[in-house]
Amino acid sequence: MAFTHIDKQGNAIMVDVGGKEPSQREAIAKGRIKMSEACFAAVREGSAKKGDVLGTARIAGIMAVKKTPDLIPLCHTILITKASIEFTLLPDTYEVEATCIARSEGRTGVEMEALTGVSVALLTIYDMCKAIDRTMEIGKICLYEKSGGKSGHYLRNETAAGETK
């Protein structure tokens, strides 16, 4: 398989998507942040000293979706039609799962936007809670699902990816 971001001379290039037909595209990315019991309680109860952790992280993630081409080299600037961040609290493991949905109608996918959104949302949680718990761990960031474009629909197979449900 040839790399699409490298020309014949080995130079980095931006892929030309001009010949592609526009289509509705959606990507869903997920990730988690694991924290101490005390930190999890502060997030859940909204009692962190820096304020509304999840509300701020939601805004940061949405902003990151829109700024992805400024952060990822060779990433196309695309019109985002939807960007959302949702959080699921997992009290058994003291984790917060972030889910980012990004949509666009265009010639290239929104996977990088969804992955960037979820990453920045989790980093924001870390930033807002580091005074409570500096041992937090961010992980399990992955593309969960995508649709649209030439490659069609993709749904992550958790078992094949070596994870347990």
Q: How far apart are CA 85 and CA 43, in angstroms?
A: 16
Residue 137 bridge partners (DSSP): 34
**Measured between alpha carbons, how far is 89 from 33 in angstroms, rounded to an integer?**
10
Residue among 114, 124, 106 nearest 83 (CA): 114
- Among residues 7, 52, 70, 127, the one annotated as catalytic is 127
For tokens 């409570």, what's the residue?
Answer: 132
Query: Which of 29, 55, 54 minimizes the C-alpha distance to 117?
Result: 29
b/e burial code for range 10-35 (CB count within 10 A of at least 16 → b): eeeeeeeeeeeeebebbbbbbbbbbb
- For residue 127, indicate whether it is catalytic: yes
Distance CA 122, CA 32 (A): 7
Which residues form the catalytic set?
Answer: 127
